[in-house]
Structure 1
Amino acid sequence: MKFSLQKIKREAPYDFEDTVNVDELESMDNDIRNITDVKVKGEATVQGESFTFRYTVKGTMTLPCARTLVDVPYQFDVQAVDRFTTVEYEAKNNEDIHFINQEVLDLLPYIKENILLEVPIRVYSDEATIDNIVSEGSGWDLLQEDEHEELKAKHEEEGKEKVDPRLSSLKNFFNDKND
């Protein structure tokens, strides 16, 4: 999404609406497995040499379920405000304002940044059931609660019966009344 600064100045407030392809977010090192084209709608205003873009970004991304790793569609609706200026001094004094040294502003990197900030830490699938969960792996098994209780009781019973052979002479220490 590229905007001519002169056109924005002439037509301020400048309304815009477009569908943008941001599928390169899938190849970045994040959890986004798939992302649809996003809808961007907003308004640009001008005050002197400062440009303010207020816009919303709507779309759907596919993320892995935190429990089962199955695909979970996640709809997002981002409200964003980005400020730009052609005055370098103003941008250096305020980190919230981006400096523009060209006549054309590309809003796409800022849209991507706002989408990445919207990615949740975890999502859960509504269809996540015990059948979908991976039940075993290298050196581990997933047990149901009753299976766990049975295994625990079996280990406790085996632990009582076994005596370390090195300690077998101490087994009758308190039973010996001659000492």
Structure 2
Amino acid sequence: MIKWTLDELRRNCTEPLALNETVDISSLIKSKNENVISVSPAKVNGFFSLDQLGLLGTFKIKIKLVLPSTRSLQPVNTELSFTVSEYYVDHQTDNLAEFGKNDVVIFLADGLLDLSEVVCENVLARLPLKVLTPEEAAGKTELPKGNDWQVVEEGSSANAKVQVDPRLAKLKDFFKD
């Protein structure tokens, strides 16, 4: 685990702190999301730098996970690759007006930055809501159905019915040639 205190970084980091780490967050991810089947170590590349606002972390995270299909619960290999840019400030900071409206500001309890927690929270925030096996994504599998019901995908032709507001229905005849 890689942990730093903000005070330690303020004292020792006059230059940006380069980051090229492999972080094992498997147990941390699984403890926070029981649906995750397996997690490879995350590759983290980037830097931390101090400025007048706080500690700015800018880095790229690459990770491979096995998640259950949201349709069949079959295991699906999933790769995530994304960039993170966040400010880390002491929990006593009260002047957030200095930050831009698009800045992500994370308050650190006890001024402690835990890289494993940072990576874990960012991975969890980016887990896809829809996970399908290659066959399901290609439409090669039949959706579940029963006697009086069937599953249809949102926006599918079987489910898409054009509904016209009855107050506007007469307008369809207005421009007839």
Alignment gaps of 5+ in structure 1: 143-179
Q: 1:77 to 1:32 in 2, by over 3 A?
A: same
Number of paired residues?
A: 139
* TM-score of the aligned structures, taking structure 1 as reference length: 0.61
Q: 1:7 to 1:118 in 2, by over 3 A?
A: same
Residue 45 of structure 2 aligns with which residue?
41
Counterpart secondary structure, 1:17: strand
Q: For 1:132-160, what per-residue CA distance to the aligned partner results, in whole angstroms no more than 9, with x for missing partners?
A: x79899x8999xxxxxxxxxxxxxxxxxx
Q: Which amino acid aligns with 1:111?
A: V
Q: 1:104 to 1:121 in 2, by over 3 A?
A: closer
Matches of 2:52 and 2:97, distance apart in 1: 17
Residue 52 of structure 1 aligns with which residue?
56
- Confirm whether residue 107 of structure 1 aligns to residue 122 of structure 2: no
Please show how residues 16-31 of structure 1 align to structure 2 within 5 Å: 16-23=19-26, 24-29=28-33, 31=35
Residue 4 of structure 2 aligns with which residue?
3
Cα contact 1:91–1:98 (8 A) shared by 2 = no
Matches of 1:41 and 1:10, distance apart in 2: 18
- Confirm whether residue 120 of structure 1 aligns to residue 142 of structure 2: no
Q: Which amino acid aligns with 1:3?
A: W
Structure 1 residue 53, shift from structure 2 partner: 0.4
- The structure where helix makes up a greater share of residues is 1
* TM-score of the aligned structures, taking structure 2 as reference length: 0.62
Counterpart secondary structure, 2:131: coil
Matches of 2:109 and 2:69, distance apart in 1: 43
Q: 1:140 to 1:65 in 2, by over 3 A?
A: farther
Cα contact 2:85–2:104 (8 A) shared by 1 = no
Greater Cα radius of gyration, structure 1 or 2: 1
Matches of 2:75 and 2:109, distance apart in 1: 42
Q: 1:62 to 1:140 in 2, by over 3 A?
A: farther
**1:90 aligned to which of 95, 98, 111:** 95
Matches of 1:84 and 1:141, distance apart in 2: 50
Residue 77 of structure 1 aligns with which residue?
81
* Larger RCO, structures 1/2 (Cα 8 Å, 6+ apart): 2
Please show how residues 140-159 of structure 1 align to structure 2 within 5 Å: none
Q: Which amino acid aligns with 1:36?
A: S
Q: Which amino acid aligns with 1:13?
A: P
Percent of pairs identical after alignment?
A: 19
